[in-house]
Chains A and B, each alone.
Chain A
């Protein structure tokens, strides 16, 4: 098993991790530029800072025109109809109960009792699934993959699966799309685009972005050749379904046709045929909702985490599922190996990474997920003390989010520290075949005082892997990992920048590491 004790010590305070080369992470001062051979690789990637202060706060808290009008008391009948439309039965009951007009006394009493019963039932429901009593904003903050969703200026981040283009969702509910090939930065705003929890670009498509909002899923159709910086809200398709809000997670099918959306309130996840706006509910009671989705890169399986101590793995052809109860808490995050044969996941309350391996997908075994009986622990991330120049530093704790690079060679993990330790990004080297291996690579450190907020790998970086980190300061930086992929050993050596580098910091590691053998 791999543990944090095997990691090289974190970089010096004030240093920033710059890149990985020659098998080791290299850090240096902020202003220090990359060695020359690497610069050409990253020349056009924008490194930007979006501080919280520059974002305009909401000019109005109430998103309606109500305060602008003089208050007018409608008749009870009308108010009841409005309440029915807005809230439902409970709204009508509370409206009648609080009515000042002369209503039949027994109607009032009856509705008061009915309301009490409603409250009792909902509190019972809430005690079974405590997350249901949260407000939707708290719920998104709780289940989002961002470390500090509520406080940080960056709330969600998504790389386009085929090109160097990414979208950043900001605190002020706007989304900016950065493209390496063009200077225009479209800013997306929509009336319904509030509290963005997650975003996803449609695969096999130029520019369609799905956004998980508080009340619906918005699908933006952006014209890649357009020079407009402010696409109209007419470019957005609204996908909403009653009872399916807030939406906290989205996943596109890798083959491009379908979109999955999940809400912690809805026990069903929805399969959208986005072009026709048809949706199919995949109902599976138990768990109280779905918080996080991860579609395997080969398109065969989907991980669906729930707010309770159980998660499911769906098989994406006939849509049957396997249920995985966990011991301690809910599944916080998970990621798939590129061939879809292995799932790594973490559980809230435990500082380990679990692994599940699935039999290779053939397509002939319809309706079987084909998972093993138990999950194995592959990494132990419990708190470890490192000796540094400035004294002891404690690192380790629960995993908040985890991403696997598309070539299956690097795994980046955000470890949320206990109160005594800090939040760090740990990077592992991985190999999936012939046997699964997980080796330590190092810690990634940002500027002083910056905590990692979100991580994502560039989907098609040719020279290895490229990790994009959003920091709590609002900075978005890109950290390249230069290596020669094991799957493509015939990687052209002439382009490899390794040869031109000679750093003394390389040292071959020979500690016992996790290996399946």
Chain B
């Protein structure tokens, strides 16, 4: 996902990319370095012998230095490197949340994910082989010479299958596959940025006990599941393969072996812990704050400066890091704030501030737009207005005009809601394409990626135009795969399909078109009554809301950075560069606040964050919208408490003025 978007990126910021590469490498190196201690612990625990503790200790120390063990550690280092490469390739800062069950299945069988699973299964098998070799005893070899007295006269020597070993190998593959599946389902590729800044070592130490506990518990569950699976599938395999086994394991007695259970569980733990460590270290290294210079010291550094990076369109991770750095500098560093407020040397323009504030405001108004579109869809309660074909043609001609207007419409005029919606529509249309490209989409096809027109269809611009065809949306049958593609971030899915068709029939819209529409509706209402279909297609409202806010961390930082800078400008801004943008900032914040408030009043929207269990898997993306609401309010209060009565002199619309007054009186 990241690789894809970075290849799209025209503006190369090689310096930062190199830094990111280094970080991933260092993370992987640490994971490899932590492998020998894990292996040592495994050796000690696997040869546990409580009756003779002294012998246990001496034996395990001897085992540590055997060539077997060392070879296994080397092999596992390779495994860790492969896992790290997958971590790097698959990470995302804005998780893609499947909105329906079908979308989830689509994700699972997506080729990328299949490769991920297969490789992880193979890696799991390799680790299990290492574990078997280190454990020694009856687990060590796959094939054993066995003497079976089939006929009484001759002792025939066979090569028999050691099913213990096979059991281990299959268990390894099973754990590897489960890991990959859980990685997908739990969105473990999501990089959550930490709530507070801490040193890497402390972050690692804080998570380590949790990691160990999580691995132990998960391994327990996996052993149970695997035993059940083995019991049922073992029978079938026997018949097919005609294997000679020494100790058949696919019966109940064979599986109820405490030692086997213990060693399998330990093998699972030994497999999971280094993988989770690699994953954790990658997360810690990748989300570490990066210090972007505000002003270039040398000319060639210009591309790596904060304002430049914010205004260009870098890979999402770099944008996140830049915004995080903006938040940190605005809060903690007076010296760097001074650089933001400074004027350019020849010319005396506040380029830094202009670039930073413009980018933050763009982000926030994009979010406002996205929310309005989402609300429109939700407010019509599943009804969407179908534009007449003439409108489509018209709308397809619009983008240039809109792009032209977009430059001037950063500041949204404030009116009450419906007219606000209208006034917003001439905003930048590029939002939609930004949105689409930022989310990894398995089924992306170039045809579907033509979004400006599609967005327009959905946009309130057309909602305001009277149109005869009103469509009942019901459960969105055709949309699931395309939902996946747009990540469900706005309900453009149905119109997308119809646009393609409608576009062809633009010439003879009358009869054929309505007939098709009717048929389509009939089929849909027929299908929507089938329970199974509903099961797969029904959208989870919570998930689609989460998807809208999946990259809200960016907006939270933009809000914090902007509000801290504005608050600091009260005393630190010598040239008054912030004052010129203050009305725009207030307008954007208040408009967004209104839209967000409205969003939380929608049906299906829970007003409280779900309980987060303190587990290893981070689910903070599920609660980002609450964070956004809180930090938005705090940001406005930060500005109003700093400026106080002076805000009355700022040019804002009367509606916003009223709102500001409420904030000044602490009544919001």
Contacts and interface: CB of A to CB of B under 8 A. Distances in A.
A13 B422 CA distance: 72
B52 interface: no
B416 interface: no
A16 B420 CA distance: 59
30 contacts: A163-B665, A163-B666, A204-B634, A204-B641, A205-B634, A206-B668, A225-B667, A241-B614, A255-B564, A257-B630, A271-B195, A275-B609, A275-B623, A275-B626, A276-B609, A276-B612, A276-B620, A276-B623, A277-B611, A278-B620, A278-B623, A280-B194, A280-B196, A281-B206, A318-B198, A318-B199, A319-B196, A319-B197, A320-B199, A363-B333
Given A276-B627, A280-B196, A364-B335, A257 B620 contact: no
A252 to B, nearest CB: 11
A110 interface: no
Contacts of A258: 195-196
B275 interface: no
B565 interface: no
B624 interface: yes
Given A278-B612, A363-B332, A256 B197 contact: no
Nearest to B667: A224
A319 B198 contact: yes
Interface string B175-199: 0000000000000000000111111
A257 B560 CA distance: 10
At the interface, is chain B mostly helix, strand, loop or mixed? helix
Given A160-B666, A271-B196, A318-B199, 20 more contacts: A204-B641, A224-B666, A224-B668, A255-B634, A257-B631, A258-B196, A275-B626, A275-B627, A276-B609, A276-B624, A277-B611, A278-B620, A280-B195, A280-B198, A283-B206, A318-B197, A362-B334, A364-B333, A364-B335, A367-B199
B331 interface: yes
Contact of A277 (B196, B197, B612): B612
A274 interface: yes
B557 to A, nearest CB: 12
Given A162-B666, A318-B198, A276 B334 contact: no
A317 interface: yes
The 4 closest A-B pairs by CB, nearest first: A275-B630, A276-B623, A363-B332, A204-B637
Contact of A256 (B199, B629, B638, B668): B638
B593 to A, nearest CB: 13
Interface string A140-182: 0000000000000000000010110000000000000000000
Given A276-B623, A276-B624, A278-B620, A205 B641 contact: no
Given A276-B609, A318-B197, A319-B196, A205 B633 contact: yes
Contacts of B641: 162, 204
A280 B665 CA distance: 33
A322 interface: no
A275 B630 CA distance: 6
Contacts of B202: 319
A156 to B, nearest CB: 21
A119 to B, nearest CB: 25
A279 B334 CA distance: 28
Interface in B150-198: 194-198
Contacts of A162: 641, 666
A344 B81 CA distance: 52
Contacts of A318: 197-199
A44 interface: no
Contacts of A138: none
B504 interface: no
B646 interface: no
Contacts of A279: 614
B530 interface: no
A281 B194 CA distance: 12
Q: Which of the four size classes fits the interface of chain B?
A: 35 or more
A516 interface: no
A280 B210 CA distance: 12
Contacts of B394: none
Contacts of B638: 204, 255-256
Nearest to A268: B206
A237 B630 CA distance: 14
Nearest to A225: B667
Contacts of A273: 195, 627
A283 B638 CA distance: 31
Contacts of A320: 199
Interface in A208-248: 224-225, 237, 241
A160 B638 CA distance: 15
Contacts of B334: 362-363
Contacts of B195: 258, 271, 273, 278, 280
Nearest to B564: A255
A207 B620 CA distance: 25
A205 B634 CA distance: 6
B407 interface: no
Interface in A285-339: 317-320
A319 B206 CA distance: 13
A317 B612 contact: no
A98 B206 CA distance: 39
B666 to A, nearest CB: 5
Contacts of A317: 197, 332
Contacts of B623: 275-278
Contacts of B199: 318, 320, 367
A206 B667 CA distance: 6
B349 to A, nearest CB: 26
B624 A257 contact: no
A205 B665 CA distance: 11
Nearest to A238: B611
Nearest to A224: B667
Contacts of B608: 237
A162 B634 CA distance: 13
Contacts of B560: 257
Interface string B560-581: 1000100000000000000000
Scoring A160, A225, A256, A362 by chain B CB atoms within 10 A of each residue's CB, the highest score goes to A256
Interface in B189-219: 194-199, 202, 206
Contacts of A276: 609, 612, 620, 623-624, 626-627
Contacts of A237: 608
B330 to A, nearest CB: 10
Interface string B485-513: 00000000000000000000000000000
A367 B199 CA distance: 9
A364 B560 CA distance: 19
Nearest to B640: A204
Contacts of A283: 206
A364 B334 CA distance: 9
Nearest to B637: A204
Interface in B375-414: none
A163 B611 CA distance: 32
A271 B631 CA distance: 16
Contacts of B611: 277
Interface in B291-340: 331-335
A223 to B, nearest CB: 9
A170 B197 CA distance: 37
A255 B637 contact: no
B630 A206 contact: no
Nearest to B642: A204
Contacts of A206: 637, 666-668
A271 B202 CA distance: 15
Contacts of B665: 163
B361 to A, nearest CB: 21
A241 B611 CA distance: 11
